[in-house]
Amino acid sequence: MDALDTTELMPAHASRLLALSPDLLGACDFDGRVSLHSPAWERTLARPGDAITGAAFRDLLHPEDRDEVAAALDALAAGGPAASFTARMGRPDGDHAWVLWSAQASPEDGCVYLAGKDITERMKLEDELHHRAQGLERANAELQEFAFIASHDLAEPLRMITSYLELLQRRYGGQLDETADEFIGFAVGGAERMRKLIDDLLAYSRVGSHELDRAAVDLAELVGHVLRALGPAIEESGAEVEVPDVLPAVHADPTQLGQLLQNLLANAVKFRAPDRPPRVRIGAEHDDGGVRLTVADNGIGIPDAHRDRIFKMFARLHGRDEYDGTGIGLALCRRIADRHGGRIWVESQLGDGSAFHVWIPAA
């Protein structure tokens, strides 16, 4: 059967509509020659109309895409269902346009109808985003490695400094004058603070580098474990910790969730008000397709202006002489929440306690 000349069959209003379309509308006969094309083809392919009409569709394609598209068109001509494919269309200047084609054969008209969307800009953007994401991933991995190596390698000389300082203290403490004892004490204190800082930095970098090992975590068991680890601090402060009888399961990495809870609970006890013993309430409930954990205290509270800042690395609202710490705990908590696809935030009233919430999505 001879292919129909679809151009001649077209009523004038259809032809005007075709001219208006930003998409590439047209048809190929069953030999793969373009029998009809809208003006959008000329713009996208940067070719004059007479270089398109009658041309083999295959020749308009980027050489690497020809076989795949030819196979798709053959399948259509053989009676296959409507298909969609993305192909690069060659331009005379050597560049190419990305086109997303939908195609359907019409045995009665003896052709394959084609509708194509020029997605060159989108593909360029995707490519750029992909490159940027790769660059960021690389930079992040390097930073991660740097943080780990730096903190790991710092720990070794520090152990040596600490043990010699302790030796000095043990062997010569009281034999030198009072000022010398005081100086040694400062040095021991400084080394101890540095050890805490290195430990916290290592914990922070590990959260980024380790694969998340998510499982159904028994919260009651985890909370019990964390409370035992904080036993001395809780006892010393006289804190009362309220834990609900029933806690939901959370789909999380148990080690990381334990670190998060431990940091929040330690802070709830540490930032207590001077005039009252700490009361801490732990809560967990299903919320918005996940579980929201809450650690609420009756401590000193947080000024409005600092509610976001405290989650940043090294951000502290008090001097070390008031409350000890490294300023890494909440940054670590936020990193753990982020890695789980969740979030962390605080509600607080200065002087009247804080409630830290962590939302972790379900599996």
Interface with ligand ADP by CB under 6 A: which residues? 263, 267-268, 271, 297, 299-302, 310, 315-318, 325-331, 354
**249 in Cβ contact with 215 (< 8 Å):** no
Nearer to ligand ADP, 43 or 196 (CB): 196
Q: How far is the CB of 302 from ligand ADP (least distance, A)?
A: 5
Distance of CA 147 to the CA centre of its chain: 19
Which position's Cβ is nearest ligand ADP?
Answer: 325
**27 in Cβ contact with 38 (< 8 Å):** no
Q: How far is the CB of 143 from ligand ADP (least distance, A)?
A: 20
Nearer to ligand ADP, 254 or 329 (CB): 329
Report the C-alpha gap between 286 and 306 in whole angstroms. Answer: 28
Nearer to ligand ADP, 85 or 323 (CB): 323
Q: How far is the CB of 158 from ligand ADP (least distance, A)?
A: 19
Nearer to ligand ADP, 29 or 297 (CB): 297
Q: How far is the CB of 272 from ligand ADP (least distance, A)?
A: 8
Q: How far is the CB of 331 from ligand ADP (least distance, A)?
A: 6
Nearer to ligand ADP, 26 or 258 (CB): 258
Q: How far is the CB of 171 from ligand ADP (least distance, A)?
A: 33
Nearer to ligand ADP, 168 or 355 (CB): 355
Phi, psi of 7, rounded to the nearest 5 degrees: -65, -40
